[in-house]
Amino acid sequence: MGFRSVHDLDVKGHRVFLRADLNVPLKEGRITDDTRVRETLPTLKFLLEGGASVVLASHLGRPEGKGFEAAYSAAPVATWLAEHGFDCRLASYVVGASVEAEAASLKPGQVLLLENLRFEKGETKNNDEFAASLARLADTYVNDAFGSAHRAHASVSGMVGHFPKDRVAAGFLMEKELKALGKVTDHPEKPLVVIFGGAKVSDKIELIQNFLGKADAILIGGAMSYTFLKAQGFEIGKSLCEEDKLEMSLDLAKQAKAKGTRLLLPLDHLAAVAFKADADCAITLDENIPVDRMALDIGPETIAAYAAEIRAAKTLLWNGPMGVFELAPFASGTLTMAEELADAADRGAFVLVGGGDSVAAVNQAGVAARMSHVSTGGGASLEFLSGLELPGVAALSK
């Protein structure tokens, strides 16, 4: 993997700085969804049970970076950890003499949760002085915040160089994400089929380009497909289209052909007269969409063609819905893809789902648990799959 795992660390008697992703939704001072906290618990427990004390740190929301803001305090996370049996206290602030004293007084098995890292502008600016002050709080560094790995922030990449190489490691969540993503990008078992959907081609250009020549087939759905279709001369009616990306879409199709990747576009659509759940809708006869209608989902012929590709694949990646699945009449394409991918995983194919909407779709379809891996990394997953270097990962690898 190019970096040390937390498994490889001897942490007994050490004080570990654990960068986690505890950016949880809050309402009236309580956590409304504790998924992100729970995801880092295996790493936290491993460190504590191994005889370490832990300085735990994360950002939370988007404070201004001008000091303490009650609305963005990490206090609810400290409360949650205490309620779930951890010997955890909230630090008086993020850095400074008093925080250093609080960290120094930790005993093995205890946790000091720092206040929201983004209370200090030095975090997002990757200020070296701020990074050094964070590093003074511990002698070992573990990063388990894969969801923040694409940000060149002080706690993610800047402070890592302040620790000896053999005292730096990736947490279990970080490791799990990178292994799963690497299975798709580095040495996928073929055939590799990727399914890209969502609204904009512009959001997926680097992602598509990274899989040209790697993937056997790329299946395109969602609103981005209408830009591709219009570029190729089809009528798209009132459907969404990125007019400034028509040339780019043609170019991607040409590159795919040259590199031996089949780029599949919808063969038919479910098109409605308006963007409403109760709007009059009909299946189109072919790729063309009537002038008075907008396509809001892929049609049955497309679903069948895409399902056949999925069934033949050994490695699959899904990023982005096939239509407006939030509205029941236009959810069939997306939910059928979710079912087909779950069946593929059941048969032994490696199936990776990444991206907020795709994750929401597999949850809606009730098949998330059947997938090989559901990436919760958001922007970090997208950048990794696009072939971009993640600052947080690069720092660990050094």
**Three-state SS across 107-129?**
CCCEEEECCCHHHEHHHHCCCHH
Q: Is 176 a catalytic residue?
A: no
Catalytic residue among 61, 65, 378, 379: 379
Say if residues 319 and 207 touch (Cβ distance below 8 Å): yes
Partnered with residue 374 across adjacent β-strands are: 353
Cα separation, 120 vs 125, in Å, equals 9
Q: Is 36 a catalytic residue?
A: yes
From the list 315, 306, 211, the residue with the least C-alpha distance to 268 is: 306
Q: Is 379 a catalytic residue?
A: yes
Task: Identify how many contiguous H helices and E strands the chain contains and give both numbers.
Answer: 14, 17
Q: Which residue has the tokens 């402070």?
A: 159
Q: Is 348 a catalytic residue?
A: no
Say if residues 57 and 20 touch (Cβ distance below 8 Å): yes
Task: Write the CB contacts of 6 (distance below 8 Å, at least 6 apart in sequence).
Answer: 43, 46, 47, 142, 144, 169, 170, 171, 172, 175
Catalytic residue among 61, 65, 109, 356: 356
Catalytic residue among 15, 36, 293, 370: 36
Catalytic residue among 200, 259, 314, 378: 200
Other CB atoms within a 10 A radius of the CB of residue 267 amount to: 17
Strand 294-298 versus strand 269-272 pairing type? antiparallel
Residues acting as catalytic residues: 36, 200, 356, 379
